Amino acid sequence: MPPKKAEIPSIDDVLAQSASATNSPPAPEQKPKVNIKTKSTKAKEMAAALQDSTTVKNILDRLDIIEKEQLEITAELDREVKPPAVDNQTEDRLLKIEKQLPSLHRKSRISCVIGERLCPEEFTVALRDIESETERFRKEANITFAQAIKVQALFGENLALAISKEMATLYRMTNVNLKSKRNVYSDAELAVMKINGQGDDKILLEEFKWLSQILFEIKGENPVTSLVALSIKDGLAALAQSAYVMIMKDLRAWLLDPESLSPQKLTKIATNLRKDLAVLFGKKSQGVLRLDEFLKVATNKAHDISKQQAMELIRQFFPMMDEMSPRTYVALGFETIDKNIEAGLQNWEAAKRKELKLRIHSLNM
C-alpha cells in the first residue's frame, strides 16, 4: 500500500492567516474548506506552489515580528511605576487633613488682620497699588471715599509693621473720621464719590501724603549699612511711645479726675503732645488741629478756660462712644467721663486748693 501524502492547507486557510497577520480589512466571506483529496490535480499543484512561495514566508516573518513587539510592550508596561497602595490608616489621615483645610485657611486670614503677626505683604502690596494709581496721593480726583476708608486701614497696619503698635493706635485715634460717611451714604455711593481736596477732604489728603512719605523714608533705611545710632524708625517709635503715654495716661487720668491737674499743667501736657503729633502725622493732621483748638482757648489771656470747657475739648481728642468697642469704652472709663461732662463740672478753684495743700505738705516734710 503506497504511503499517505501529507495534507496540504487550502488556499482559503492561507489567505485567512494573511489577513489576520497584516491587520488588513476582513476578507470576503470564506468558502467552505475544500478537501484536497477530492480536488483535481491542478488544485493540488496550485496549493503546493502557494505553500512554497515567498508570500507565505513573508507572512510568517511578519507574525514573528508582531509577536516580538507585543512581548516588548508587555514587558515595558510591567516595568512602569505603579502608585503605592494607600492603606486605611493613611486614607483616614488624608481625609482628616482635607477637613481641616477650610479651618486653617480661615485662621490664616484672621491672623492677617493683626499686622505684627502675619502677612505684611498683603498690606504693603495693597497700599503700594493705591499709591501707584494716585502718584502717592497727589491726584486727589482719582481717590474715592471707598478707597480712602481702605487706605486708612492699610496705613494703620503698615504703621504697626514699620514703626510700632503705639504709632498705629495713635493714628487710628487722631485720623480723619470717615465712619460718619458710612452712616449717610451706601457702599455703592462711596465707591463713586471722589475726594474734592476741600475742607476735611484736604486734611485727609495731607494725612495720606505725610504718612506715605514717612513710610517711604523708613523703607529706604538700611540698618546694616547705616552708621546712625537712632534711625528714623527709632525716633518715630520713641515719639509715638511718649505721645501714647501722654494721651492714654495723663489726659485720660485727668478726664477721670479733673482735680488732679491745674489748667497750667494741662496746657503744658497738651503743648508737648501737639509737638510730638506734629512730627508723627504732620502739622495739618486732625489730632494736631484738635489740640490747636484747645490751646487757642486755654492760652487766651482775655478770659480763663473753664473746667467744663476744657473737659469737652480734651474729650473730643479721644474717640467717641460709637468709635470704640463697648468693652473698651467702659474699661477705659469713658462711660464715667461722658456722664460727668453731661452732669456738668465745677470750676478750677477746688483743684487750686488741692494743689496748694500739696505744696504746703511738701514744704513741711
Q: Which residue has the higher pLDDT, 62 or 333?
A: 333
**In the chain, helix, strand, coil percent, each to 5?**
70, 0, 30
- Spatial CA neighbour of 190 closest among 145, 237, 141, 132: 145
Q: Which residue has the higher pLDDT, 68 or 11?
A: 68
**Long-range Cβ contact pairs of 227-235 (< 8 A, separation 24 or more):** 233/162, 233/163
* Residue 194 backbone dihedrals phi, psi, to 5 degrees: -100, 150
- Spatial CA neighbour of 193 closest among 325, 278, 204: 204
The pLDDT of residue 140 is above 70: no
Give the C-alpha separation, 152 to 147, whole Å: 9
Model confidence band, residue 24 (pLDDT cutoffs 50, 70, 90) = very low
Q: How far is CA 97 from the centre of its chain?
A: 23
Which amino acid is located at 47 in the chain? A
Q: Which residue has the higher pLDDT, 43 or 328?
A: 328
DSSP 3-state of 321: helix
| Domain boundaries, given as residue ranges, for the chain | 11-79, 109-220, 232-364
DSSP 3-state of 179: helix
Please give the average per-residue pLDDT across 71-79, as a whole number: 74
Give the C-alpha separation, 186 to 189, whole Å: 5
Its pTM stands at: 0.61
- Spatial CA neighbour of 243 closest among 283, 215, 217, 279: 279
Please give the average per-residue pLDDT across 1-15, as a whole number: 51
Which amino acid is located at 53 in the chain? S
